[in-house]
Copies of this chain bind each other. A is one copy, B any other.
Amino acid sequence: MKKIFLKDIAQALNLSKTAVSLVLNNRGDENKISKDTQKRILDFAKKNNYRPNQMARGLSLGKSETIGLIVPNISDIFYARIAHFIEIKAKEFGYNVVFSSSNENAAIEKELIYSMLNRQVDGLIIASTQKNEEDILKLKEANFPFVLIDRYYPDIKTNYVIVDNFGGTKNMTEHLLGNRRRKIGFISIKSQLDALLQRRLGYEQALTENGFKVEPNYINELDPFDYQDEMKGAIKDMVQGSHKVDAVVFTTHYLAASGLRELKLLGIEVPSEVAIISFDELGAFDLVEPPITASKQPVDAMGNEAVEILVNEIDKKNLKIENERVLQTKLLIRKSCGV
């Protein structure tokens, strides 16, 4: 375990640091260093377990071979899974990943971005609060490699990998319509997030396109930090109140879970009395009673493509990878929407 440095191996082998460095970075051949010398260096390094100090290397190279990941909350299974795929893909390209959670707070996110820049990350993957237009613009102007995931800035041209929120929700709503539900409620989160707006638009479009009209009373957007408490009222009002909704679209997995919890407490039968459907999926949605029909997001593709685009940017290979990706969700039909 005792540390050995570049110069140690140079001394031991009676060579220059240059030679050693070159060989260790696989540039021995191109610098015409004798096969024999190369072998000696490599062997010695292996034998003594040489491990370059990445801070020194990074300082010298001006890069860290690290990518930064900023998400609202790493303990949200959705982001955790994305992180997982990002990690795997990043490693393929030789990058490490450092993560931080913004807690959906723009100020924190801003701080995180700069903190990561100080840390000399080579690129950034951000699931932004969408309230940091300014800093995203700065990144862009500075030509710093980054890609947005999950959420993007419609007004800024950047790399991004998102999901078709509009289409996904439209599809969900049509599924409900197809199951002869006519009074379809919509429970979402009060937020400026474009994703959430798109989900509402998708819902509305499905209705109008099919000749139904959008009933504002059927729409309820809850406080993001207080949705659990507000859910009870929302459900009562929508399902038991005068509206008598016969289905509800939940725009996130945790809303669907929370909603179902309340429905159960109120003794309301799903799907006979009310059908429910969820945008985004939870691992146990198939075990819940009734199993919840949900639109599954392609987290794997999201993570993979984000890294690919990012690394491409970093390397400036400019392989012309398409860098504005809108992925499709997949409807998993279970029992919560009836027949």
- Chain A residues proximal to chain B, CB less than 8 Å: 1, 51-56, 58-59, 64, 66, 73-77, 80-81, 83-85, 87-88, 91, 96-101, 114-115, 117-120, 138-139, 141-142, 257, 260-261, 264, 282-290
Measured between beta carbons, the chain B residues less than 8 angstroms from A260 are: 287
Measured between beta carbons, the chain B residues less than 8 angstroms from A138 are: 1
Check if B64 sits within 8 Å of A73, measured CB to CB: no
Check if B120 sits within 8 Å of A55, measured CB to CB: yes
User: Could you say how many copies of this chain the assembly holds?
Assistant: 2
Check if B1 sits within 8 Å of A118, measured CB to CB: no
Q: How far is the CB of A16 from chain B (nearest CB, A)?
A: 21
Measured between beta carbons, the chain B residues less than 8 angstroms from A97 are: 98-100
Identify A54's interface contact among B75, B87, B119, B284, CB under 8 A. Answer: B119
Q: Which residue of B lies closest to A140 (CB)?
A: B1
Measured between beta carbons, the chain B residues less than 8 angstroms from A64 are: 55
Cα distance A58–B138 when bound, in Å?
A: 26
Cα distance A85–B73 when bound, in Å?
A: 11
Cα distance A119–B261 when bound, in Å?
A: 45
Check if B52 sits within 8 Å of A118, measured CB to CB: yes
Check if A261 sits within 8 Å of B282, measured CB to CB: no
Check if B286 sits within 8 Å of A284, measured CB to CB: no
Check if B120 sits within 8 Å of A54, measured CB to CB: yes
Q: How far is the CB of A214 from chain B (nearest CB, A)?
A: 29
Identify A80's interface contact among B75, B115, B139, CB under 8 A. Answer: B75
Identify A55's interface contact among B58, B96, B101, CB under 8 A. Answer: B58
Known: A74-B83, A87-B101, A120-B55. A289 touches B286 (CB 8 A): no
Q: Which residue of B lies closest to A91 (CB)?
A: B100
Identify A1's interface contact among B142, B264, B285, CB under 8 A. Answer: B142
Q: Which of A138, A284, A285, A288 has the most CB of B within 10 A?
A: A284
Q: How far is the CB of A300 from chain B (nearest CB, A)?
A: 10
- Besides the known contacts A84-B101, A282-B284, 19 further A-B residue pairs in the complex with CB atoms under 8 A apart: A1-B138, A1-B141, A53-B118, A54-B118, A54-B119, A54-B120, A55-B58, A55-B120, A74-B84, A75-B80, A76-B80, A77-B80, A77-B283, A80-B80, A87-B100, A87-B101, A98-B99, A264-B287, A288-B288
